[in-house]
Amino acid sequence: MNVEITRLSSGLTVVTETMPHLESVALGVWIKSGSRNETQDEHGIAHLLEHMAFKGTKRRSARDIAEEIENVGGELNAATSTETTSYYARVLKDHVPLAVDILADILTESAFDEEELRREKHVILQEIGAANDTPDDVIFDRFSEVAFRGQTIGRPILGTPETVNGFTPGQIRNYLSRNYTTDRMFVVAAGAVDHASFCRQVEERFATLPMTPSAPPVMETARYLGGEVREERDLMDAQVLIGFEGKAYHMRDFYCSQILANILGGGMSSRLFQEVREHRGLCYSVYAFHWGFSDTGIFGIHAATGGDDLPKLMPVVIDELHKASETIHQQEIDRARAQIRAQLLMGQESPAARAGQIARQMMLYGRPIPNPEMMERLEGITTERLTDLAGRLFFDTVPTLSAVGPIEQLAPMADIAAALSSPNVQTKKAAG
C-alpha cells in the first residue's frame, strides 16, 4: 500500500493512497458521527445537516457549489449513516485544490439560510415519503426500531416529518459544533494525489475547524432487545427479515460472522440461495448479512416471496440455520474467503472504493489494514468456530422479526421462536 498518514497540528488526520496510473482523485471528509450522535430531540438532524451543507456558504450559493464542481467534470456527494457522515468528491488530478476548497467551504462556512432550510425540509419530507412507500426500506427501518426499541440506534436516519419540520438553524449549528471537530474527522484521498501537497491544501483550507467540541459528543450504549413487528400491506410480495444480535467491529467473532453470513446467503452458491430459491423455488430473493457497529451488530436473513409461500419458506430458512450450527464444510470457508479477497482486490482498482475503505478503517481501527493482514485474520476461522458461532447466534439470543406485505400466512412469533429455541427443536413448528 502506498498509504501515507499525517496528523496536522489542528488534530485533523489526513490520509492518502497514491495510485500513479490514474488521472483522477477520489477525496472526501469522513466524520465519526452519524444518527447515533443525535440527542432525543434531534432525530434526523444529522441527515438534514448533510443536505444543508450543499445549500450555500458565505462565498458560494447552492448553484455555485454545483456549477463549480461540474464545470470541471467533477462529482460531489454526501451520505449519512448510523455512526458516520461523509462528504466526497471525484475530480481529475488538476482540480484537487478546487475540490478541497469546496469541501472545506461547505463544512466550515455553511450559511444555513432560513429559506434554503425551508426548501430542503420539503425535499427531505418527500424522501421520507418515498422511503415509506418502498417495502425494501420499510422492513429494515422497522427491524431496527424493534431490535433496539426506544434507542437512538434504532431510529430511522431520515427522522420523521414532525422532527424535521421543527429544526432551526441554531439546532443544526449546535449539532455541528458538537460533532464536526478535528479529533473526529478524517480527510482521505486516493488516486493521482501527492501527499505533501494535499496536506498543505487541507491544512490551509480546514484551519478554522474546531479542535474540541462545544459539548461532549452524545452516543448511548446500544441494548439489543429483539421482538417483532408486522405490517399488513396490499403488495404483490411479502418482505420478511429475521435477525439476531451480531458482533461489534472489535469483537473476536466479527470476521467469523462475516464468513458465516457469506456461507449462508452471500451469493448464488450460498446455502439459502441454493436451497430456498434454486431447489424449492420459494422466493425470488434471499440473502444473509452481518452489520457491525461500534458496540453491537446485526445478523439477518432477508427474503422476498409471495404470501402463499410463507408457510413453507420460514421452516426451510430456520432449518438452514440449524444445519449451520451442526456442519460447515471447509470448501465453503475457502469460497467465502476467496470472495472477500476478490472484493478487497477489486476495491483497490477504484479510487472511490479505496478512499472509503481507508476512511472506515481509520475511524474503526485508527489505521489502514493491509489486505494481507485482513486475509490473515480470516485464515484462523475454522469449521468448529463457525458452527459454535452459529449455535450461539441463532439459538442463544432473542430473534427479531420484521415483515411487510401480504403476511397473514406467516407463522406466529411464538412458533418461530420455539423453532429457534434449541438446535434440537424440530423446525416444523415454525409452519404454524
> For the chain, what are the domain ranges?
3-205, 227-431
Decide the pairing of beta strands 227-232 and 400-405.
Answer: parallel
- Reply yes or no on whether 68 is catalytic: no
Strand 238-245 and strand 297-305: the pairing is: antiparallel
Q: C-alpha grid cell for residue 146?
A: 424493534
Predicted pLDDT of residue 197: 98
Q: Grid coordinates standing for 177?
A: 459544533
Distance, CA of 244 to CA of 389 (rounded, Å): 12
3-205 and 227-431 in the same fold: yes
User: Strand, helix or coil at 10?
Assistant: coil
Of 38, 42, 50, 116, which one is the catalytic site residue?
50
Give the side-chain half-sphere CA count within 13 A for 328. 28
Calpha distance 178→328 (Å, rounded): 47
Question: Which strand ranges, in their side-by-side order, compose the sheet holding 227-232?
Answer: 227-232, 400-405, 238-245, 297-305, 285-292
Q: Are 352 and 188 in contact (CB under 8 A)?
A: no
**Cell numbers given for 300:** 439477518
Q: 109 vs 147, 179, 188, 320, CA distance in Å? A: 38, 15, 20, 54
- Distance (Å, rounded) from C-alpha 80 to C-alpha 219? 16
Cβ contact 220:387 at 8 Å? no
What pLDDT does residue 70 have?
98
| Contact between residue 2 and residue 171 where contact means Cβ atoms under 8 Å apart | no
Number of neighbouring beta carbons within 10 Å of residue 306? 16
The one-character DSSP state at 25 is E
User: Which amino acid, residue 242?
Assistant: I
Per-residue pLDDT, 235:
93
List of E strands, 152-280: 185-191, 227-232, 238-245
Query: Residue 216 has what pLDDT?
Result: 80
Q: What is the pLDDT of residue 348?
A: 86
pTM listed for this prediction: 0.93
What confidence score (pLDDT) does residue 423 get? 55
C-alpha to C-alpha distance for 174 and 60, rounded to whole angstroms: 22
The class that CATH gives domain 227-431 is: alpha beta
pLDDT (tens place) for every residue of the chain, 432 residues total: 689 999 999 999 999 999 989 999 999 999 999 999 999 999 999 999 999 999 999 999 999 999 999 999 999 999 999 999 999 999 999 999 999 999 999 999 999 999 999 999 999 999 999 999 999 999 999 999 999 999 999 999 999 999 999 999 999 999 999 999 999 999 999 999 999 999 999 999 999 999 988 888 889 999 999 999 999 999 999 999 999 999 999 998 999 999 999 999 999 999 999 999 999 999 999 999 999 999 999 999 999 999 899 999 999 999 999 999 999 999 999 999 999 889 888 988 999 999 999 999 999 999 999 988 888 888 889 999 999 999 999 998 899 999 999 999 999 999 999 999 855 444 444 444
Q: Which of 223, 300, 185 is nearest to 36 (CA)?
A: 223
Cβ atoms of 356 and 416 closer than 8 Å: no
CB 54 within 8 A of CB 64: no
The answer as to CATH 3.40.109.10 being correct for domain 3-205 is no
